[in-house]
Each structure stands twice: as C-alpha cells, then as structure tokens.
Homo-oligomer: A and B are copies of this chain.
Amino acid sequence: MTITLPTPSSIASAHTLIKPYIHHTPLLTNRTLNTLASTPQTPESLKDTPYEGQEPANPKIRFFFKCENYQRIGAFKARGAFHALLRLVEREGEDVVRARGVVTHSSGNHAQALALAASNLRIPAYIVMPRISTPSKIAGTQSYGAEVVFSGSTSTEREAVVAEVQARTNAILVPPYDDYDIICGQGTTGLEMDEQYKELVSAKPELSVHSDSAGKKGHIDAVITPVGGGGLNGGVTTFFSDKETRVFGAEPSFEGADDCRRGLEAGERIQAVKSLTIADGLRTPVGVLNWAIISDPQKHSGVFAVTEEQIKAAMRLVLERMKVFVEPSAVVGLAVCLYNEDFRRLVEREAPNGWDVGVVFSGGNTTVEAIGKLFG
C-alpha cells in the first residue's frame, strides 16, 4: 500500500482555507513555569525512578503555550474538522455533500468539532456516540444541530452503527485522526505557533533563551504536543519537517497509553490500547498515517511519557498559576518538560543555553466535577 503523506505546503494551504472559520488562539508565556522548568527536580522526586540517586537534570527552558483550549469547541479538533469538510465540498461539490451528510464516531472533542463545522457549512451530521457518554457531551453535540446516534461502547459496536447510518443516509465518513485532511488541519497549529513565536520574540527578546546570543535563531527550538491518535502531533511534525524546530510527542504511561512511545522502541506500531488514563483524549492508539510521520526520525525527535501524578501536578500548575482552564490531556507536554528526566537531560545535553519550547495545550473540555474527582 502506498500512502501519501502531507507536506509543509499542504499545511500552509489548509491554513488559508480554514482561517475564516477558526479562532487565532493566543501563544502565552509564563514566568513561574519557566522558573520551575529551569530548576532541577528534588532528589526525592526521583525516588523509585531509574534516576534515583543521580544528579537531577538542570535544563534551561522558556515556554510558549499555544492555547487551543480557546479554540472553537474548546479544542484543536475544530481545525481538522473544518479542513476535512471544506476539502470534501471542494472535491465532491456542495450539493452532493449536503445531500449525503457526514458521519463519525466519537464521544469526545472530534464529535463536537465535526458537529460545529457541519452546522457552519450547512451539512447534515450524524455522530455515533456510546450510549454511556456523559449527558453534557451528548447535549453539546446536539446543540450544534448534529443528529446523535447511540451505540454500544466497543469499537466493533460503534463501527456497526456507523455502517448502519451510512446504509441509511449514504453519509460520508470523517475519521477523527487517521486522515490526510484531518492531519493537515491539525498541523495548522504548528504554523501559527511558528508565526506567533517569531512575532513575540522579536517584540520581546527577553522571553527567549536566545535573547543574549548575537545570532538569534529564526525558529522555536522545540515543540511538544500530546499524542493520542496522533493527528495533532503528525500535523505539527509535518509542518516543521523542513525547519530547524524539533518536534516531540507526549503520552501518559498509565496502563500502556504510551503506545506510540512503546511502538517506537519496538520498531512497530501498537494497534490496540486499553487504558483508563485521566488524559481521556489520549486513550487511542496512534493511527497508520500518523505513525508513518512520527516514526520517521528525519521528521520526529521522540515521544516521552509521564505518570498520572505528573499530569495532575502539571494540570494544577496551569490552573492555579497560569489561571488557564485545561483538560488533563492538554498538559502532558508540559508534564514531560517539568518531570521527565530523559527529556530534561536531553535539553541540558543538547543546549547549554537552553531551549525555547512550544507546548500545545490541546483542549479545555472538562468540568468542575471532574476536577473535583481528580483533586478532591
């Protein structure tokens, strides 16, 4: 099977297409988090890890947070959904797509993103959701005018219901992550980060680790994003693949949710994951196309994993210190920078002056009750 992978220019053209439909989310900095990341962890915090008894790493890091929690529907998924539908209309014609409609299965942010994009473009949308989904998510999806069709919880049951919907309506399937157009849409996150970083650092050089160096670097040194199905990380990796910026991925290690990291170690994509990590957007195995991108060492610099406690600690910092409301999945990249000694040693080793690191906060769709359960 030949697969066609996106290129940096396909992401630039995706951005032109979706720009009128999406929010231009802010790129924020934070002094407290810079200081924390640039301070060695305590020896106690390395207990029961492979680094117990060793000198904690001492990297220098300046953060640039891309706040996709402020994106439409509260997550980056709006980018891919709008792009996929706009391309569909381009290829098939408005009338055909409106007559057939679109279908997907998701209980998360992709469901709401597709429902919103379809509603904006006046395309009927059918969203297959497990019967046990939280009522607020069902109501959220319905509020965009989509028809919610219920299914069982296993992927077999969900796919059977999608097939039923397609048989009944002839609706076109829009997959959540393993899709050329979706990847291009999500990759626009990287394009905006690149632009915003340059603008910000040229206005305020003191925000960068390179403020003192004579030859300023053009691009941000590194970018890290969460990896679930891999659409966001695959797209961002593609965008930076012809630039000097290195791209990393972040996953939860709980119950094997770090399938991409483990797959890279084993040299083979892991096809199934069954984890109940609190980072509920990242319980999915990485998709085929995204694996092809992320497993290419010419493009990608590695995936690092963090524990549930580390995700919670990072989430607390973002909420309490930055005053920014994020979901657990959103902070795994920050958690890697703060707590993963492998990553921190890498930064220290590679860059005595430190790195400017772009961190994608992927979404903010959680509830006060969920926070109560996490920290109560």
Binding site for B on A (CB under 8 A): 69-70, 74, 315-316, 319-320, 322-326, 364, 366-369, 371-376
Give the dominant DSSP class at A's interface: helix
What are the residues of chain B within 8 A of A323 when measuring CB–CB?
A: 69-70, 74, 324-326, 364
Residue A376 contacts which of B319, B324, B369 (CB distance < 8 angstroms)?
Answer: B369
B325 to A368, Cβ gap below 8 A? no
A316 to B364, Cβ gap below 8 A? no
10 intermolecular pairs with C-beta atoms under 8 Å apart: A70-B323, A319-B325, A319-B368, A320-B325, A322-B325, A323-B325, A324-B324, A368-B375, A371-B371, A372-B374
- Stoichiometry, copies per complex: 2
Min CB distance, A210 to chain B, in Å? 24
- In the bound complex, CA of A323 to CA of B324 (Å): 6
- In the bound complex, CA of A291 to CA of B322 (Å): 34
What are the residues of chain B within 8 A of A369 when measuring CB–CB?
A: 375-376
B368 to A320, Cβ gap below 8 A? yes
Min CB distance, A165 to chain B, in Å? 29
> Which residue of chain B lies nearest to A26 when distances are taken between CB atoms in the complex?
B26
- In the bound complex, CA of A367 to CA of B318 (Å): 11
- In the bound complex, CA of A369 to CA of B375 (Å): 6
What are the residues of chain B within 8 A of A69 when measuring CB–CB?
A: 323
Closest 10 CB pairs of A and B: A372-B376, A372-B372, A368-B375, A323-B325, A323-B364, A376-B376, A69-B323, A372-B375, A319-B325, A371-B371
Min CB distance, A255 to chain B, in Å? 23
- In the bound complex, CA of A369 to CA of B316 (Å): 10
Min CB distance, A71 to chain B, in Å? 10
What are the residues of chain B within 8 A of A315 when measuring CB–CB?
A: 368
| Known interface pairs A324-B325, A372-B374; 10 further A-B residue pairs with C-beta atoms within 8 A, sorted by A's residue number | A69-B323, A70-B323, A315-B368, A320-B325, A322-B325, A323-B326, A368-B375, A369-B375, A371-B375, A372-B376
Min CB distance, A272 to chain B, in Å? 32
